[in-house]
């Protein structure tokens, strides 16, 4: 079988990415073309998460092309040669055609072991500048490296992923450049748009719409309590208020929706969080605060992320949010009085007792105790050990 491989970052995938392999398929009689979205390159921190790029690629490929998640699923960034070695080992007896752009061919000598790449596949190159410059470049590369390199007879497309990102940022339409499913996905996931930080009033109105009444009252209670605790114990009161406002911003979704969104946004969940769905809203909440509410402060995002299971080395802000969540005025459970009175004078002890009560509650209910909670407890327990 003749298999074309269309590699790329696909951030986002666009119409030219689809037309080029169609041209290649027809001209070189390929049996199929497989899209291979790349992992997150270490030198390009601004690249959209690989799972989101994979999903966009799948949407665009539809039933027409295959999509291979090999590079996305690999932990480390994959060199083209490694990917080709994987493919030739996995699908022996097939002929591989690697589709690249003129600009990539120009850089091929900088790739990892280009001669070996050319031993494993035929390169099919589409023009980026002009057909003439491409023809000259192919001749030059062949004389230097050998191998089979052919031009794809496609027009030079002006569309580029960076231009699409720019259009989204500026609120311009991208409908002419990407398939409708990709345009919808970009919109639904708020990709490429500059997320402007909302002010507290805007956040409160949005929370009021999305959280139920009871949770909204709880949220406002946590925010106010967190602000007071921050003022009392010398943390940043505004950060505490904002973290309090957003700590449960992802909690109104159902578990299956939360899991779906975590997968889409690349929020990684440990095995315990999967066994105990009520904790998922914390890491998902941090990602939501970042993407949908424009929060970029890592201290705030961490406090949101850690507010359900706590952990080792909690910062003062983390402890304040955790404790405020337990003691805000609408909370009513046995033991809350002790926590409230401790929080008047000693945030460390109030936090420790809050974690302890939470662990004991879970044990009483035969629920899973997250190891991070135990780590948090163990870190402080020696300090409060009862003297007998
Ligand atoms: Fe929560
Ligand atoms: Fe809460």
pLDDT in tens, 241-264: 999 999 999 999 889 889 988 887
The pLDDT assigned to 77 comes to 75
Confidence tier at 28 by pLDDT (50, 70, 90): very high
Task: Starting from the CA of residue 285, give the closest ligand.
Answer: 1
The pLDDT assigned to 268 comes to 85
Give ion ligand 2 contacts, CB < 5 A.
Answer: 248, 325
Residues in CB range of 220: below 8 A, 6 or more apart: 204, 245
Same domain flag for 151 and 215: no
The pLDDT assigned to 387 comes to 66
Same domain flag for 127 and 215: no
Task: Starting from the CA of residue 251, give the closest ligand.
Answer: 1
What is the arithmetic mean of pLDDT over 336-350?
97
What is the arithmetic mean of pLDDT over 196-221?
91
Q: How far, in Å, is the centroid of ligand 2 from the Cα of 340?
A: 16
The pLDDT assigned to 109 comes to 85
Q: How far, in Å, is the centroid of ligand 1 from the Cα of 248?
A: 5
Q: How far, in Å, is the centroid of ligand 1 from the Cα of 291?
A: 18
Q: Which residue has the higher pLDDT, 48 or 195?
A: 48
Confidence tier at 47 by pLDDT (50, 70, 90): confident
Same domain flag for 124 and 227: no
Q: How far, in Å, is the centroid of ligand 1 from the Cα of 254?
A: 14
Residue 267 falls inside a structural domain? yes
Q: Rounded to an integer, what is the distance from CA 274 to the centroid of its chain? A: 18
Same domain flag for 157 and 205: no
Residue 301 falls inside a structural domain? yes
The pLDDT assigned to 308 comes to 97
Q: How far, in Å, is the centroid of ligand 2 from the Cα of 328?
A: 9
Task: Starting from the CA of residue 308, give the closest ligand.
Answer: 1
Domain total in the chain: 2
Q: How far, in Å, is the centroid of ligand 1 from the Cα of 285?
A: 9
Look at residue 371 and tell me whether its pLDDT is greater than 70: yes
Strand partners of residue 33: 4
Same domain flag for 229 and 141: no
Residue 186: both structure tokens together: 């970009």
Same domain flag for 322 and 269: yes
Give ion ligand 1 contacts, CB < 5 A.
Answer: 248
CB 64 within 8 A of CB 30: no
Same domain flag for 147 and 224: no
Q: State the CATH number of the domain containing residue 12.
A: 3.40.50.620
Q: State the CATH number of the domain containing residue 336.
A: 1.10.3210.10
Q: How far, in Å, is the centroid of ligand 2 from the Cα of 245?
A: 9
Confidence tier at 93 by pLDDT (50, 70, 90): very high
Q: How far, in Å, is the centroid of ligand 1 from the Cα of 210?
A: 15
Strand partners of residue 7: 36
Residue 233's domain comprises: 200-384
d(CA 98, CA 28): 12
Same domain flag for 56 and 151: yes
Q: How far, in Å, is the centroid of ligand 1 from the Cα of 221?
A: 13
d(CA 64, CA 52): 20
The pLDDT assigned to 43 comes to 55
Give 65-79 pLDDT, tens digit per residue. Answer: 999 999 998 877 778
Q: How far, in Å, is the centroid of ligand 2 from the Cα of 346?
A: 21
What is the arithmetic mean of pLDDT over 94-100?
96
Q: How far, in Å, is the centroid of ligand 2 from the Cα of 222?
A: 7
Q: How far, in Å, is the centroid of ligand 1 from the Cα of 307?
A: 6
Half-sphere exposure of 121 (CA within 13 A, CB side): 28
Residue 193 falls inside a structural domain? no
What is the arithmetic mean of pLDDT over 27-38?
95
Same domain flag for 156 and 207: no
Q: How far, in Å, is the centroid of ligand 2 from the Cα of 243?
A: 11
Return mean pLDDT, the chain.
92
What is the arithmetic mean of pLDDT over 106-114?
88
Task: Starting from the CA of residue 324, give the closest ligand.
Answer: 2
Residue 190 falls inside a structural domain? no
Q: How far, in Å, is the centroid of ligand 1 from the Cα of 278?
A: 8
């Amino acid at each position: 079988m003749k298999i074309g491989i269309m590699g790329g970052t696909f951030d986002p995938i666009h119409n030219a990415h689809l037309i080029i392999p169609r041209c290649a398929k027809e001209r070189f009689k390929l049996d199929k073309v497989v899209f291979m979205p790349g992992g997150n390159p270490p030198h390009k921190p601004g690249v959209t998460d690989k799972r989101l790029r994979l999903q966009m690629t799948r949407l665009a490929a539809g039933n027409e092309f295959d999509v291979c998640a090999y590079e996305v699923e690999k932990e480390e960034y994959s060199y083209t040669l490694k990917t080709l070695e994987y493919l030739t080992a996995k699908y022996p007896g097939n002929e591989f055609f690697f589709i690249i752009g003129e600009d990539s061919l120009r850089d091929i000598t900088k790739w990892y072991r280009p001669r070996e790449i050319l031993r494993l596949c035929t390169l099919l190159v589409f023009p980026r500048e002009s057909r003439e410059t491409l023809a000259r470049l192919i001749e030059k590369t062949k004389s230097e490296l050998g191998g089979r390199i052919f031009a794809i007879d496609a027009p030079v497309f002006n569309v580029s992923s960076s231009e699409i990102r720019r259009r989204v940022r500026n609120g311009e339409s991208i409908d002419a450049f990407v398939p409708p499913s990709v345009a919808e996905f970009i919109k639904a996931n708020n990709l490429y748009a500059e997320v402007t930080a909302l002010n507290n009033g805007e956040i409160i109105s949005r929370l009021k719409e999305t959280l139920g009444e009871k949770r909204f009252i709880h949220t406002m209670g946590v925010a106010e309590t967190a602000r007071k605790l921050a003022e009392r114990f010398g943390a940043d009161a505004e950060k505490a208020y904002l973290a309090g406002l957003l700590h449960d911003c992802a909690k109104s979704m159902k578990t299956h929706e939360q899991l779906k969104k975590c997968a889409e946004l690349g929020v990684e969940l440990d095995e315990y969080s999967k066994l105990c769905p009520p904790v998922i809203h914390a890491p998902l909440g941090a990602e939501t605060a970042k993407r949908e509410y424009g929060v970029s402060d890592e201290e705030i995002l961490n406090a949101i992320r850690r507010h359900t299971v706590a952990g080792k080395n909690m910062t003062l802000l983390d402890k304040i949010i955790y404790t405020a969540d337990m003691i805000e005025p609408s909370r009513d459970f046995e033991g809350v009085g002790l926590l409230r009175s401790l929080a008047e004078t000693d945030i460390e002890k109030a936090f420790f007792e809050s974690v302890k009560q939470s662990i004991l509650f879970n044990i009483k209910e035969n629920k899973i105790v997250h190891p991070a909670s135990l780590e948090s407890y163990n870190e402080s327990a020696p300090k409060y050990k009862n003297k007998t």
